[in-house]
Amino acid sequence: MKILNVSSRKLKISAAALLAAALSLTPASAQAIWNSGHGDLGIGYDGTALDPHVHLHTGAVVDGTPLVADDEYAPGGARPVIAFSKGQARATGAQWNFLGVNANDTVWTFPAIEDLTLPYIGFGAEDLLAADWTQPFTITLTGLAGSGALAMGQFSAYTTDIFGFPTGNIQTFDGISASDVVNLDAGDHLHFNFAFTQPGIYEATFLIEGVHAVDGAKSASATYTFEVAAIPEPSSYAALAGLASLGLVALRRRRRV
């Protein structure tokens, strides 16, 4: 293992920069922020292998700007975000227990009915011809990571009928298993309510499987990222400000040497 030694004389960090870094709420990455609008967790095929991706439609807002044409990103390349203030109380009734929290606890949901202020997320295989595939694709949740999951946050994808009764296709409160699956026909797309029970980042990994009429069985794994935007409590800001102050004191002492 190579160890890097950095001289204190060469390391210059301002207290303001330290505070800004400490207050950062999202991971440093090349992910585009999907603010609102229609998009799908898409399935493509390049002639030899499945090609999972994020397909955002014209008008979807990315990094604060509406797209003027459809665009595609790698599975982890565009992160849908829901604001902390968009949380709502979980409904009463045992039919909602699959969400993994008690009635009236807060749940954050990307809705299956389009809301112009939020990402409108589906699973999509519209780029594929139905005649090329002998059976529906299965999209199975195989893992959940990220700060939201580490905070014991639960993830679910569900639909509701005309009476508002829910069916949970994917639900993590009882563990992750082969039953956490969505079936999708080639040439089709389906929208679900994507629900989360804690603020933070969620990295959901799916195994996508299908059978090509000529090329046989195909599979691919893809990890998609979602975010419930966290808001630190005032005490957290105070602690971070204290960290910055300590950094400033250390710099002042260092300059006196």
pLDDT at 114 over 90: yes
Residues 6+ apart with CB under 8 A from 136: 183, 184, 185, 186, 210
Condensed to tens digits (0 to 9), the pLDDT of residues 192-250 reads 999 999 999 999 999 999 999 999 999 999 999 999 998 754 544 444 444 444 443 33
Could you read off the pLDDT of 156-194 as tens digits, one per residue? Answer: 999 999 999 999 999 999 999 999 999 999 999 999 999
pLDDT band at 15 (very low <50, low <70, confident <90, very high): very low
The residues, ordered by sequence, that sit 6+ positions from 133 with a Cβ below 8 Å of its Cβ are 185, 186, 210, 211, 212, 213
Domain edges within the chain: 31-256
Query: Has residue 115 got a pLDDT over 50?
Result: yes
- pLDDT for 230 equals 83
**How many other C-beta atoms are found inside a 10 Å radius of the C-beta of residue 140?**
20
Q: pLDDT exceeding 90 applies to what percent of the chain?
A: 77
Q: Is the pLDDT of residue 12 over 90?
A: no
36-76: pLDDT as tens digits:
999 999 999 999 999 999 999 999 999 999 999 999 999 99
- Dist CA 183 CA 175 (whole Å): 20
Tokens 């039953």 belong to residue:
179
- Please write the tens of the pLDDT for every residue from 228-238: 998 754 544 44
Given a cut of 80, is residue 24 above it in pLDDT? no
* 39/42 Cα distance (integer angstroms): 9
Query: How far is it, in rounded angstroms, from Cα 107 to Cα 149?
Result: 14
What local confidence, expressed as pLDDT, does residue 19 receive?
35
Residue 30 pLDDT class (50, 70, 90 cuts): confident
